[in-house]
Amino acid sequence: MLGGQAQVPGVAGTWKDLTDSVNAMASNLTNQVRNIADVTTAVARGNLSQKITVSAQGEMLELKNTINTMVDQLNSFAGEVTRVAREVGTEGVLGGQAQVAGVGGTWKDLTDNVNTLAGNLTDQVRNIAVVTTAVANGDLSQKITVNAQGEVLELKNTINRMVDQLNGFASEVTRVAKEVGTEGELGGQAQVPGVAGTWKDLTENVNTLAGNLTVQLRDVSAVATAIASGDLTRKITVEARGEILQIKEVINRMVDRLSSFAAEVTRVAKEVGTEGVLGGQAQVEGVAGTWRDLTDNVNTLAGNLTNQVRNIAVVTTAVANGDLSQKITVAARGEVLELKDTINIMVDRLGIFADEVTRVAREVGTEGVLGGQ
C-alpha cells in the first residue's frame, strides 16, 4: 500500500531526521512505483506513448531505463510491423521487411516471424503474378512452383490446374483448327476433359463450328462431285448462314442453270439431230459467261445447220421438180461445204445434160437435122 507516511508526534533531533528520511524514502518509492505502474499498464493496454519520467537513482534508475528502452523497442517493433503490414497487406508493395534494431528473445522471434510471413507472401504472390501474367499473355508453359500451405496451396493448385486445362483447351482447339482449316481433314472434334463453365462453352462452340463446317463442306463436295459426274439431280440441302449460305445458293443456282442448259441443249439436239425438226433454239434464262457462250454456240450450230439443210432442201426439191435454175448459196464449211459443192456440180451437170438432150431433140425431132449427138 503506497503513499503511507510515518506520524511520530513530539519527536525531535535524530528521531525527527530518521522519521523524515523514512517518509522521504516512502514518498520517492511511491512516486517511482506508481510511475512505473502507469507506464507498464499503458504498455499492457497497447499504449506505447508513455515513458517513466520520475527521478530515480541506482537500481531504480536501471529499472526506469530498462522499461523506457523496452517501450522504445516495442514502439520500433510496432512501427515496423505496422509498416510492413500496411505495405504488403494494404498498399500491395511486396518485399518489405521489418527492421528492429537491438531486439532479442521473443521480440526478435516475433520480428523474424513477421519477416518470414512477409517474405513467403512476397514469393508466393510474385510467383502467382508471374504465372497469371504469362497466361494473360498467352504463355501456358509456366506453373506456380513456390512452396505454399493452407489456402495459398489451394490457390496454387487451382491456378496450376487452370493452366493445365487451358493447355488442353488450346492444344485441342489448335489441333481441330489445323485439321479442318489447314489440312482439310473434316470431322475433327476437340476433347478437353474436366472443363466447365466458359471453357466448356468455348469447347462446345469450337466443336459446333467444326461440325457445321464439316457437314456443310461435305454436302458441297457431294453436289460438286455429282455435277462433275454429270448428275444434275442433287442440290445442297444443309443449313447454312452468312457466306456459306451464299455459296450454297450460288451452287444451287448453278445446278438449276446447268440443268436448264442441259435440258435445252438436249431438246435442240433431239429436235434437229433426231426428229429432223429444224429451227429450234436453246432458251436458257439468266446464264452468262461460258454458259452463255455455250448456249450461243449451240444455237449458232442449230441455226447454221437449219439454214444449210433448208437451202439444200430447196435446191434438191427444185431439181426434183425439174427446176435447174437454183443453186445452194448458204455459207458452209467442211463436209457440208463438200455436199454443197457436190449438189451444185450435180445441178450444173443436170443443166448441161438437159440442154444437150433438148438440143438433140429439137434438131432431130423439130428441125429434121439428123445425126446430132
Q: How far is CA 125 from CA 52, 151, 189, in A?
A: 43, 13, 37
pLDDT tens digits for range 7-50 = 767 777 787 677 767 777 777 888 888 898 999 999 899 888 89
Asked if 316 and 343 count as a contact pair (C-beta separation under 8 A), the reply is yes
d(CA 154, CA 196): 19
Residues in the chain: 373
Stretches where the chain sits below pLDDT 50 are none
Region class of 278: left (phi > 0), else alpha (psi between -120 and 50), else beta: beta
Asked if 280 and 267 count as a contact pair (C-beta separation under 8 A), the reply is yes
Burial of 344 per CB tally in 10 Å (0-12, 13-18, 19+): middle
d(CA 359, CA 136): 113
Burial of 276 per CB tally in 10 Å (0-12, 13-18, 19+): exposed
Asked if 15 and 2 count as a contact pair (C-beta separation under 8 A), the reply is no
Q: Can you give the pLDDT at residue 20? A: 66
Q: Can you give the pLDDT at residue 358? A: 82
Q: How far is CA 35 from the centre of its chain?
A: 75
Q: Which three cell numbers stand for residue 83?
A: 509498416
Q: Which three cell numbers stand for residue 363?
A: 434438131
Cβ-Cβ contacts under 8 Å for 78 (sequence gap 6 or more): 48
Name the nearest CA neighbour of 7 among 301, 71, 32, 15. Answer: 15
Q: Can you give the pLDDT at residue 5? A: 62
Q: Which three cell numbers stand for residue 332?
A: 458452209
Q: What angle do CA 39, 40, 42 make, to 5 degrees?
A: 65
